[in-house]
Structure 1
């Protein structure tokens, strides 16, 4: 770990007892993040309490426990247990509605405990920026309790290898304490955006708007001329497995947030509007295939938006093998 990877001074020497870490959300991103955190002795030193994990589907928590053992993982019975027993609570959740619901549970739990030492909530989900303010109102009114927003850049493959980039906003000391727990355990670098909690999710959505816009341009281009790039490979070879990439529902959620931001700031971004339409087309085709029992993937990757320009061109949306080939005449 290089000193420039974390833009904060090193925290003061911790007390005899390392902080109890909690983790809520073991999805495509959360599972490898929690696993890496539990395995990394810098963030989770020998002799410290197991990381307390919770997931709405208990099976994933049980899988993580079986993989790492009881000295590193303990399964919480409820979200409230995380809020009451943990000093640092990390959340990785699928949507704004779920985030709001979970933090409402945290709020109720905090009413029942004494707050005599710092408690930090680290929200790593991709939310609409104003959600951060609503979460802050729920959490930061309790003594010694702080929220920091910390969305992450990188797909599940980078989460597996702890190569994520973390974007942080909020209370300075809380960011510093969290950064030295999370890097290099789950990420390789922190970008500090100051005290305004809305700045981190704003930057994350701007970043995703760039990715989504480039994908839309690639989708339109390789409909005519296939090329070889990361997302282009997925589109070229129809590898639209959302369980190995970024699920299309997440892409639609982020596109909706981006479009709301462009409206708020009077900044037109028509490529994102088109990408949103094409993801809806892809999802509709996939839903029809699931009803008919012929869907190849349980969940679509957001690169399946190429279905939109394909259908407009009179081609099959999700199966390029059905396309007519141009054959050379000798």
Structure 2
């Protein structure tokens, strides 16, 4: 984590009682088995932190599954078999666990995994209650489909619980978690997630679609901020004012962690998607947001520009990869600045190639 980002998040604090809007649930007579499916850039840290912070009523180890088994093996190597075990498939997680968390790349993958959950639950003659917690960023309508799959078994509940924060926030358990669904289920998982995984719970009631809707609203603000940030830094360079000076002013007048973090990436061309939010995920989210604004007749022109600049950045990167000139395997979504730069006649990814104006004495 950079010094700029560390200073930006210095105000974050240890979770307090009022940051979990539910009283503590009663301790069950048996230890709960936790499962986690999806060990990507966010899920790996979330599963790791759950395994590191078992509570009195949670059994260890956490049972994990990932499409690429190497990530599961990496987690076992990091924490040991006493804290993590690897499931053969999602069906095993659904059968063996009382609470199952998922954090997956796309709506299609989420739906596919939940179909496997449904199949597994219907294959076993058990009426032991289970809770499935979906933490990915998905389109709101998918929540109803997932609920139909899970509730058809008669003894399982779904909670939609998307999370706010980049991978570094997941690493340090500083995520903000939004919840919608069955009240008792939310109460049960809220005290598992805070402080192990996140610092705050926002409860949006029983309508499952409200949580993914709120997530898209929040991401629309972040993505719109990235677009304005990219355009502002580009305008500075075109006018002969160094980007780092414009960035310095931005930090002074708007010292929000996302602004500081993504501004630093743009100014220094730090577009490595393996250490941030990959551009494919950003484009998926922007498509969801634009679909939501269309459904609700609520235009967001800044998001339209951001979406086009994300596509431009991805296309430029694909061309560089084809020529063997790409610096990064995948891009961070802060690389949308490449779209603004190219539109202004500048190099998309290498600010060192921009003409510099020497200050007069």
TM-score (normalizing by structure 1): 0.97
The runs of 5 or more residues in structure 2 that have no matched partner are 1-14, 237-242, 249-259
Alignment match, 1:217: 228
Deviation at 1:328, TM superposition (A): 3.2
Alignment match, 2:345: 314
Does the residue aligned with 1:66 lie in a helix, a strand or coil?
Answer: helix
Alignment match, 1:7: 21
Give the distance between the partners of 1:13 and 1:22, measured in 2 at CA: 19
Counterpart mapping for 1:90-105 below 5 A: 90-105=101-116
The runs of 5 or more residues in structure 1 that have no matched partner are none
Counterpart mapping for 1:254-293 below 5 A: 254-293=285-324
132, 135, 144: which is aligned to 1:133? 144
Q: CA RMSD in A?
A: 1.2
Deviation at 1:142, TM superposition (A): 1.3
Q: 1:37·1:44 contact (CA, 8 Å) conserved in 2?
A: no
Alignment match, 1:241: 272
Q: 1:42·1:185 contact (CA, 8 Å) conserved in 2?
A: no
Alignment match, 1:176: 187
Number of residue pairs matched by the alignment: 327
Does the residue aligned with 1:167 lie in a helix, a strand or coil?
Answer: strand
Offset from partner CA, 1:30-61 (integer Å, 9 cap, x none) = 0011111101133775xx23110000000000
Deviation at 1:294, TM superposition (A): 1.3
Deviation at 1:165, TM superposition (A): 0.6
Q: 2:54·2:60 contact (CA, 8 Å) conserved in 1?
A: no
Give the distance between the partners of 2:338 and 2:165, measured in 1 at CA: 24
Q: 1:170·1:194 contact (CA, 8 Å) conserved in 2?
A: yes
Change (3 A) 1:231 1:43: farther
Offset from partner CA, 1:39-90 (integer Å, 9 cap, x none) = 1133775xx2311000000000001001111110000001110011110000
Offset from partner CA, 1:289-322 (integer Å, 9 cap, x none) = 1111111111100010011111011111111111
Q: 2:27·2:57 contact (CA, 8 Å) conserved in 1?
A: no
TM-score (normalizing by structure 2): 0.89
Alignment match, 1:33: 46
Q: 2:28·2:57 contact (CA, 8 Å) conserved in 1?
A: no
Alignment match, 1:19: 32
Offset from partner CA, 1:141-181 (integer Å, 9 cap, x none) = 21220010000011000000001011000000111111111
1:299 correspondence with 2:330: yes
